[in-house]
Amino acid sequence: MHDDDQTFSCPHCDRRFLYKPELEGKRIRCKCGEKFTVEAPLIEEPDSYSLGDNPEDEDDGPDLMALLSSAGGDAAPVSAPAASGKFCPSCGSAVGDTAALCIQCGTNLKSGKKSGKTSVVPGWASSHENTSSAVRVKIVGAGLGLHGLGYLALMLGLTLAAIGGGMLAGGNSTGETLTLIGGVAMIGGIPLLVIGPFLGLAAPAEAGRGLLIASIACYLGGTAFIIAIAMGAVPEFLSALGNAPFLIGAGCFLGFLQKLSVYLDDDSLYTRTEFLLKTFFLIVVLTFLMFIPLLGCLAVMAAMVAQIVFAFAYAGTVCQAALSALRT
């Protein structure tokens, strides 16, 4: 059989496409909206031969059915090798040439470590749930978009307020206008920053909804704790723990973004969330080092630089997650 005559079908809607060798091992999106990996069509072995026919004379390539039989009877179909010939070092599954994570076993292809986050068919395990899942993911994308806009507005407001305050200290009246604009930006950004994660609760369980719930609970608990401290209802020795719930909540939210990246099968987003988590834990360590006399000043400077890097990376990651979810 010639390649021009070979076809393959979408496993979700059975729509058939013309097979081309360069498509083998690549993930494509069908017109029905689902993603799947293109596998080379198997060459069918003739049911029987006439007397005198010699199957060896047929120039149709290797007998793939016989190879499957010799592998152990009813062997399960395996993924077609990626076009680059790249395989996961842990489970041997074929992966794309630019993949950062094996979605079969969760192995990070750069570090070789398992993340424990796998998604055999990311987010689309059952065809009858596709429409519902797609709508829920788009709601998550809208929520992340609002959260990202709120974060950018808050950062802009804080920056303008800081610049305006400095100008006022120097006797420049323009600083009052900048401070006012900064305040308006912060007031407008905070509601968006808060509403976004609540819309994210529409996420399917396998997309990290549990981590998002834990994050929201930590932020609500932290806010209540801060109010209790301000009212004097908390012993003074416990007031130093006021930031702890927010740190835990931030870590949970970053974990949610990483889990979502696996669900969406977005390797670039996964790499970004991994960088964010490492930067976040670095900031936490530096925060504790600030209390050591000999390292205090250096820790403060390093933490400031890390926080600036984190702020820009976080804004970009949230926006990318929103766009990736909205495109599903």
The per-residue pLDDT for 43 is 58
Tell me if 79 sits within 8 A of 121, measured CB to CB. no
CA distance 228 to 215: 20
Q: Is the separation of the CB atoms in 109 and 100 below 8 Å?
A: yes
Diameter of the chain measured on Cα atoms: 105
The domain ranges of the chain are 3-70, 85-118, 127-326
Enter the DSSP assignment of 60.
Answer: S
Cβ proximity of 259 and 106 under 8 Å = no
Query: Stretch 71-85: mean pLDDT, rounded?
Result: 44
In this structure, are residues 262 and 105 in contact, taking their beta carbons and an 8 Å threshold?
Answer: no
The per-residue pLDDT for range 145-200, each reduced to its tens digit, is 999 999 898 889 888 888 988 888 888 888 888 889 988 988 998 888 889 899 99
d(CA 31, CA 45): 31
Segment among 21-30, 74-83, 160-169 with least mean pLDDT: 74-83
pLDDT cut 90: percent of the chain above it: 26
Q: At 324, is the pLDDT very low, low, confident or very high (cuts 50, 70, 90)?
A: very high
Judge contact between 92 and 86, C-beta under 8 A. Answer: no
Q: How far apart are CA 228 and CA 222, in angstroms?
A: 10
Whether the Cβ atoms of residue 317 and residue 272 lie closer than 8 Å to each other: yes
Task: Round the average pLDDT of the chain to a whole number and report it.
Answer: 77
Question: Highest mean pLDDT range out of 73-87, 177-191, 223-237?
Answer: 177-191
User: What's the half-sphere exposure (Cβ side, CA atoms, 13 Å) at 325?
Assistant: 31
Q: Is the pLDDT of residue 57 over 60?
A: no
Question: Is residue 319 classed exposed, middle or buried when 0-12, 13-18 and 19+ CB atoms within 10 A define those classes?
Answer: middle
Predicted pLDDT of residue 36: 80
Q: Residue 276 — pLDDT band, cuts 50, 70, 90?
A: very high
Statement: the pTM of the whole predicted model exceeds 0.75? no
